[in-house]
Amino acid sequence: MNLIRGLVLTKEVCSTLEGFDGKLDKEEANSKKLSKDLNVMSLEKVQLDLKYVNEAQKLANGRALVAETAIVTANSNFEAMVAEKNTLLAKAKEEVERVKTDRVDAEARAFATCQDGFEDMPNYKDLAHHFMTAGRE
């Protein structure tokens, strides 16, 4: 009788294990499907992240190009300003030289006029010198 009970029990255990084994197969299949779905989702996320990185890189490249253009423009403007400054400086030097020449010529004419007008007077040279130097002080 114990043998029969043992056989019945063994049969029940085997059938339970078979059912359990079937459930394990289903769970394993579900797990594999879930794993596959997760892999697909992970791949999609990586692709999306890569897309965002590419867009950010394009934006950064665009900003770098704008900055580079601004630098070139600033350098160009600076060079133009330096050239204009040099031109104005050269004109100013020419004007200073012209004014010096004009002053020397004016002094010579004034001195000659004074000399002509004061020849008859004593100390005309001192008076002419006084008029010539009065404008410089």
pLDDT in tens, 66-111: 889 999 899 888 998 999 999 999 999 999 898 888 888 877 777 7
- Counted domains in the chain: 1
In percent, the amount of the chain with pLDDT more than 90 equals 10
Phi-psi map region of 123: left, alpha, beta (phi>0 left; psi -120 to 50 alpha): left
pLDDT category of residue 41 using cuts at 50, 70 and 90: confident
Rounded to whole angstroms, the Cα distance separating 107 from 110 reads 5
Q: Taking residues 35-54, report their average pLDDT.
A: 81
- CA torsion sign for 75, 76, 79, 81 is negative
Per-residue model confidence (pLDDT) at position 123: 59
Rounded to whole angstroms, the Cα distance separating 61 from 55 reads 10
Residues in contact with 118: Cβ distance below 8 Å, sequence separation at least 6, in sequence order: 124, 125, 127, 128
Q: What is the three-class DSSP state of 135?
A: coil
pLDDT, tens digit, 9 for 90 and up, residues 43-52: 788 888 888 8
Residue-range definition of the domain harbouring residue 62 = 2-134
Per-residue model confidence (pLDDT) at position 43: 79
